[in-house]
Chain A
């Protein structure tokens, strides 16, 4: 089996596949805005495979980071290793991002709706919330102004909802033309990566559409775990599994399994 051959089911975990999907969404030479967790791993993987010229920006101020150790915080000193600059938020979120220099931004979500609108602030009613989540941070800024946005999240019915408890970051709002109408700069979410599938957005309706199903996952499973009406095209391909090369690099990036527990470390 060659380095470029696809790994077989059982040879990789779902989190590894999600990281690989995220990495493949990054093109060589792009400016990538990421947070910690899976997006950071995905960006590091892209840089070490097909996108060595990608420039990774962290909102705390680290620009073109070349971190070799896994960071726990967006402001983690680890991200400063061989960075080209360490500045601040006005630089990253203002001048770089709002200034139009960021090609793709990665965000997570506690809830999304069928237009890719994102909630990271409250679960429950605004007046009497059941859980207070961390809030926007730079999430709203990224989703507002990056040229494209990739959402990485777990696929659960309570997270893929008809109506958000709170709209923190703007997806395609209520449909075609809405982002332009309210004055947003970026073109919004273009890809959603979950533990079941990849989803993109129908250009006509701006609604979430199934794009590829991860190996071993059934359509039934996806529909049962989605709270909104998912657009399902006629022929949906299976997600390309990780290659052996991608897996080897991925495991070297996070050797202690901080964000991606190793196959032998997970159940």
Chain B
């Protein structure tokens, strides 16, 4: 028996960010403090991308950085903040300047919009948003949602438009070089979001041999068929967390929050940790091995 050669979809973080043209629409993976594509956000800032639209459920410091650096102009989302600390400081400022606009949905609505995109249907029904300003008010979408009477039962249902972004960006636990991805812990909306994009970039804490994936195929949540590019990106969610890999660095997050309350403070942070370093490895070097190792998950705890 002759085995087919394993297709190699690996590219570098820099190459991956180069694929994104100005004005592109992205599904943005991770949920809350869990697995945000932080390293990818940094690289988009370094490459001075502009006018992106991001679709996500709930994201935090990662999208605050993208708004701060004027990379993203439009968000369609359900939630943003620096949880447990306060409001996202840069987004707050950019909204006031008129540089960022937000179209509000709920978490379920956004997750279903990704599922709809992935399923190839134009909208999805749900029972949230009814009777509220989430239905009554829209920021920039010509049509945000629609209430219909179900043709079968006569009950009221909300329809939300499906999303097919140009790219889906997800940061996962492990992937093989042909793009079979496994996610430990919660998946948030990444399973649907990864399938919604026209092109899919999977960043991962580690690249494993395809034999490892194929010895436990039940753990694979994004099969290679959906995936176009694979990026090895250890500590790619730092200073946020990756289940079974590392905890968040709250000291760094608090420093970010405090500093970014002013525009000058944000500029200083951006220069010091993002634009002032060559790449992700130099960023990690700046953070320091000692600090990173302290955050490593201590089994059987996933943090």
Q: Which residues of A are in contact with B by a Cβ distance under 8 Å?
A: 36-37, 59-62, 69, 72-78, 80-81, 86-90, 93-94, 97-98, 117, 121, 126, 129, 131-141, 144-145, 166-170, 173, 178-179, 182-185
Q: Contact partner of A88 among B80, B147, B191, CB < 8 A?
A: B191
- Assuming the contacts A73-B33, A89-B188, asked whether A137 and B241 have C-beta atoms less than 8 A apart, the reply is no
Distance between A19 CB and nearest chain B CB, rounded to angstroms: 16
Interface residues on B, range: 35 or more
A170 closest partner in B (C-beta): B131
Residue B83, interface by CB 8 Å: yes
- Kindly list chain B residues whose C-beta atoms are within 8 Å of the C-beta of A59: 107
Flag if A98 contacts B156 (CB, 8 Å): no
From B12-20, B122-130, B256-264, B272-280, give the one contacting chain A. Answer: B122-130
Flag if B186 contacts A136 (CB, 8 Å): no
Flag if B78 contacts A61 (CB, 8 Å): no
Flag if A77 contacts B247 (CB, 8 Å): yes
Flag if A136 contacts B34 (CB, 8 Å): no
Flag if A75 contacts B134 (CB, 8 Å): no
Which residues of chain B from 124 to 145 have any CB-CB distance to chain A below 8 Å in the complex? 126-134, 136-137
Flag if B84 contacts A72 (CB, 8 Å): yes
In the complex, besides A136-B106, A140-B132, 20 extra interface pairs with C-beta distance below 8 angstroms are A73-B248, A77-B302, A87-B187, A90-B111, A90-B191, A94-B111, A97-B108, A121-B133, A134-B88, A135-B78, A137-B57, A138-B108, A144-B129, A145-B127, A167-B132, A168-B134, A179-B131, A183-B147, A183-B155, A184-B127
- Kindly list chain B residues whose C-beta atoms are within 8 Å of the C-beta of A129: 95
- Kindly list chain B residues whose C-beta atoms are within 8 Å of the C-beta of A167: 131-133, 136
Residue B231, interface by CB 8 Å: no
Which residues of chain B from 74 to 129 have any CB-CB distance to chain A below 8 Å in the complex? 77-81, 83-84, 87-88, 91-92, 95, 102, 104-109, 111-112, 115, 126-129
CA distance A160 to B275 in the complex (A): 45
Flag if B128 contacts A141 (CB, 8 Å): yes
- Assuming the contacts A137-B79, A182-B156, A183-B127, asked whether A86 and B186 have C-beta atoms less than 8 A apart, the reply is yes
Distance between B100 CB and nearest chain A CB, rounded to angstroms: 9
Residue B212, interface by CB 8 Å: no
CA distance A157 to B241 in the complex (A): 38
CA distance A220 to B186 in the complex (A): 47
Residue B284, interface by CB 8 Å: no
Prevailing SS type, chain A contact patch? loop
- Kindly list chain A residues whose C-beta atoms are within 8 Å of the C-beta of B247: 77
CA distance A117 to B78 in the complex (A): 18
CA distance A170 to B158 in the complex (A): 14
Flag if A121 contacts B104 (CB, 8 Å): yes
- Kindly list chain B residues whose C-beta atoms are within 8 Å of the C-beta of A183: 127, 130, 147, 155-157
Distance between A249 CB and nearest chain B CB, rounded to angstroms: 22
Residue B165, interface by CB 8 Å: no
Flag if A134 contacts B187 (CB, 8 Å): no
CA distance A109 to B2 in the complex (A): 62
A135 closest partner in B (C-beta): B79
Flag if A75 contacts B107 (CB, 8 Å): no
CA distance A32 to B95 in the complex (A): 35
CA distance A178 to B109 in the complex (A): 22
- Assuming the contacts A131-B87, A132-B95, asked whether A60 and B34 have C-beta atoms less than 8 A apart, the reply is yes
Which residues of chain B from 43 to 85 have any CB-CB distance to chain A below 8 Å in the complex? 57-58, 60, 77-81, 83-84
- Assuming the contacts A73-B83, A80-B186, A184-B130, asked whether A132 and B241 have C-beta atoms less than 8 A apart, the reply is no
CA distance A61 to B88 in the complex (A): 23
Distance between A16 CB and nearest chain B CB, rounded to angstroms: 19
- Assuming the contacts A60-B31, A168-B134, asked whether A138 and B185 have C-beta atoms less than 8 A apart, the reply is no
Distance between A189 CB and nearest chain B CB, rounded to angstroms: 13
- Kindly list chain B residues whose C-beta atoms are within 8 Å of the C-beta of A134: 79-81, 87-88
Distance between B116 CB and nearest chain A CB, rounded to angstroms: 11
Distance between B280 CB and nearest chain A CB, rounded to angstroms: 22
Flag if A98 contacts B128 (CB, 8 Å): yes
Residue B189, interface by CB 8 Å: yes
- Kindly list chain A residues whose C-beta atoms are within 8 Å of the C-beta of B78: 135-138
Distance between A111 CB and nearest chain B CB, rounded to angstroms: 12
CA distance A51 to B54 in the complex (A): 41
- Kindly list chain B residues whose C-beta atoms are within 8 Å of the C-beta of A137: 57-58, 78-79, 106-107
Q: Contact partner of B189 among A76, A90, A184, CB < 8 A?
A: A90
- Assuming the contacts A59-B107, A183-B130, asked whether A126 and B137 have C-beta atoms less than 8 A apart, the reply is yes
Distance between B59 CB and nearest chain A CB, rounded to angstroms: 10
Distance between A147 CB and nearest chain B CB, rounded to angstroms: 13
